Amino acid sequence: MDPLRIVIAGVGGQGTLLASRLIAEAAIKAGYPVKIGETYGMAQRGGPVMSHITIGEASSPQICPGDADVLLGFEEAESVRRGVTYLKRNGLALVNTRRMPPAEVVSGMVKYPNRDILIGLLSEVTNRIISFDATALAEEAGDPIATNMVMLGALCASGVLPFPEKVIINVLKWNLPQRYHSTNLKAFKLGQTAVQRQIDNNNR
């Protein structure tokens, strides 16, 4: 198969690193070679983070601009920032609409652009944008920190992964402490349903 390339975009502290590791562990379980390239430096929260995951044959850890099949965006502005660079033409964008404004925005020095402008930019690259408030779903599952599980569920439902849902669920159970299982699985399911519903609507 051609490699599957996924770019995850988010903000430090959102659990993007864990999400990328779970996807990669699942790929290995399913028998694929896998690479993750990550950009992070400091311990502080709040900086931009990005993971590149390539499932299948490839050598470099980083994905080339314009090559990503999927953008998994954990935060609205970050999704657009990375999407315009990395997402391939008409690649799939899964976008959490929840915003995490940085200090400069909060203190009023700069403005957070409005949704139409942001999605408009992303639309110049693709018409396959699925956006939803993943953090609200995580809160519904019991903990906003489970946003990463919602996003994983969404990715699974989008049908792009070359392995079935149960592989990733098993990896998730295997890697996370028991006491977080019920919240995490609930979040995963909510993400799955949210995307499934949008896909069904589009197909109707």
Partner 1 sequence: MSSLSITANDPGKIVLLMGNEAIARGAIEAGVSVAASYPGTPASEIGDTFSRIADKVRLYFEWSTNEKVAFEVAFGASMCGLRSIVSMKHVGLNVALDILNLASLRGVKGGLVIVSADDPSQHSSGQEQDNRWLAKMNCIPVLEPSTPQDAKELTAYAFELSEKVRLPVMVRTVTRLSHMRSDVSLGRINKSDKKAEFDWEGFSYRVAGFAKLFYREKELNEKLDLVREEFESLSFNMLKLNGDERLGIVGAGLSFNYVVDAVRRLGVENNVAYLKLSSSYPLPENLVGRLLETVDELLVVEEVDPFVELHVKGLAKDFNPSLKLYGRMNGCLPKEGELNQIIVGDAISNLLGVDIRRESRLVLEKKAREVLFERMLTLCAGCPHRATLYALKEAVREVKGDLKSVVVNGDIGCYGLGHAPPISFEDTYFCMGASIGVSQGMSQVGVDSIAFIGDGTFFHAGIPALINAVYNRHNIKVVVADNQVIAMTGFQPHPQSGRTAMGKPTKRIMIEDIAKACGVDHVEVVDPYSLGKAKEAFTRMLKTEGVAMVIARRICATEAVRSMRPNRPTPYVVDPDLCIGCRICMTTFGCPALTWIDDEKKAVIDKALCMGCGVCMQICPQEAIKGSKVS
Interface residue list for ligand SF4 (CB under 6 A): 43-44
Nearer to ligand SF4, 57 or 104 (CB): 104
Tell me: does residue 78 bind partner 1 (CB under 8 A): yes
Distances (CA, A) of 130 to 84, 150, 161: 15, 13, 16
Question: Using CA atoms, how far apart are residues 79 and 4, in angstroms rounded to an integer?
Answer: 18
Minimum distance from CB of 181 to partner 1 (Å)? Answer: 13
Tell me: does residue 60 bind partner 1 (CB under 8 A): yes
Question: Using CA atoms, how far apart are residues 96 and 77, in angstroms rounded to an integer?
Answer: 10
Determine contact, residues 134/154, Cβ cutoff 8 Å.
yes
State the binding partner of 62 from ligand SF4, partner 1, none, CB within 5 to 8 A by kind: partner 1
Q: Any idea how long the chain is?
A: 204
Binding site for partner 1 (CB under 8 A): 11, 21, 24-25, 28, 33-48, 58-62, 64-66, 77-78, 80-81, 84-85, 89, 101-113, 117-118, 121, 124-125, 144-145, 174-175, 179
